[in-house]
Structure 1
């Protein structure tokens, strides 16, 4: 299979290009063309091998949830001309990610396990175990880094540093919690628990828009609801749908993104397993059957579909 490692197109009217960890972004005067590649990142590092169909899963999951939440907050999405491509409004991104957590898992658990009881200015009670439900969903923002690691930051720091105005930040909080509530309800319909997720917002003509991806395996963590209570009571690892299994594999193989560490070799079998898990997530969260795109020449397909769309 021809996985998409990167794109290097030149489109008529294109004004800029930016390569993120996973997406290749082509700018036009009033629009962005965002291509979800098959790159996979963990610990803010792009891993050496692309994952077939991962970009399609990401793009189609994001568009599904953007459409399902458009009544809560306006979003950037205008068109999905290809399974790997979204075209949308060009907004000015806020330099923070709004991370919403309903359970103590992943990064938050690792911080808590190491003794922290204050996370991004939010106090956490003693006595919690990994994957316990929090008394109420909390927002733990992070700075949006163009390169390197995103960093935890508190609401007070965001306001004192003038990263976002108080009025706008209040709006971002309201939107983030409303989106999390909708995501939680949609997950429950599919037999899942939305554990945590992140939202990114932008501004266009003084109006806040939801941008980038929503409730995808790269931005979210899900548990299976039917086994949650039993596994939690027994102190067992939760069955989950997220990218966390990739992080766990890396940790088990001595890699957490630190400069002196080497990324472990990814075998064909492991790469195929990641593809399977991503497809499972798409089908489970959306209730739709995954239809693999034509992978015989994905770059030619993507380029042709974008040119047709922008013309």
Structure 2
């Protein structure tokens, strides 16, 4: 299988390796972001999924191009299917999640908090009687702090964001406008593909002039929850979860066989890896309406990327 499990390129400067992406900061303020095929869960790398980095980069490209009239984004160029060249930004210290439904499983999701009996959260007030996965009267923003050094994200209200100096009132107003407008565009275009964009995460930063700019990725299957529209009504009435792009086969398989936070990870079957790869490819095709065509250039994916990034070797 052709996979990109690492993207070390010594000719490029200022290498930083994240869980999935590898970054190189150029002296002129540009950042090279390479999406590998690594699959991260339980605070570690489990395996690599063929075409995952390609899918994430090109799905985000589709959405960046479809929303650039709404909000400026960091993208400057795409020299390779796995690579984006972007402007280096100062990332804002607030995690932005927009939700259109009472859904989710994390400790900070609306559904989790609602089922604990909370009705006032994130500066919102929700009525009694809502059911799992019910559509909200209108999409809402559920901001959290961005945790560092192993901490946990904590829910925030707009008032707390401003009072704690995380954002100015003007920044919060602009960011909120962008986030809701991006989500509305995402829901509209997704509906045309037979999909429901349920919720999504956005990351924003500021450029050298202080402008708010959309960073990272947008509306990918890793940053967003999608449901198949034709499955929603029946599942909702039955109290079950609508059909989605379920990519957690590997995560579930590992969790059933060991303590993934402490034990060695057992060898993961090739068929399980390919099943997950198929989900990613299908997600790309459904979200964008385009066929997924792998790029088979280069002896390896890293060789291809190196060739495509050679013009940047002289920039350091």
Task: Name the TM-score, length of structure 1 as normaliser.
Answer: 0.89
Matching residue of 1:47: 45
Tell me: CA distance 1:134–1:7, structure 2 relative to 1, closer, same or farther (3 Å).
same
Tell me the CA shift for residue 296 of structure 1: 4.0
Tell me the CA shift for residue 135 of structure 1: 1.7
Matches within 5 A, 1:1-311: 1-12=1-12, 14=13, 16-29=14-27, 30-42=29-41, 45-106=43-104, 107=106, 108=109, 109-145=111-147, 148=150, 151-154=153-156, 155-204=158-207, 205-241=209-245, 243=247, 266-294=268-296, 296-308=299-311
CA contact (8 A) 1:102 1:137 kept: yes
CA contact (8 A) 2:36 2:52 kept: yes
Gaps of 5+ in 1: none
CA RMSD of aligned residues (A): 2.4
Tell me: CA distance 1:97–1:262, structure 2 relative to 1, closer, same or farther (3 Å).
farther
Q: Which moved more, 1:77-86 or 1:290-299?
A: 290-299
CA–CA separation in structure 1 for the residues paired with 2:265 and 2:122: 29
Tell me the CA shift for residue 121 of structure 1: 3.7
CA–CA separation in structure 1 for the residues paired with 2:3 and 2:136: 39
Residues paired across the two proteins, number: 306
CA–CA separation in structure 2 for the residues paired with 1:291 and 1:164: 42
CA–CA separation in structure 1 for the residues paired with 2:75 and 2:4: 22
CA–CA separation in structure 2 for the residues paired with 1:115 and 1:237: 21
CA contact (8 A) 2:40 2:46 kept: no
Task: Name the TM-score, length of structure 2 as normaliser.
Answer: 0.88
Write out per-residue CA displacement over residues 143-164 of structure 1, whole angstroms, 9 at most, x where no aligned residue: 3345546513312332222111
Tell me the CA shift for residue 244 of structure 1: 5.8
Write out per-residue CA displacement over residues 90-126 of structure 1, whole angstroms, 9 at most, x where no aligned residue: 1111122210000122232333334443443433332
Write out per-residue CA displacement over residues 63-100 of structure 1, whole angstroms, 9 at most, x where no aligned residue: 11001100001111111111100001111111222100
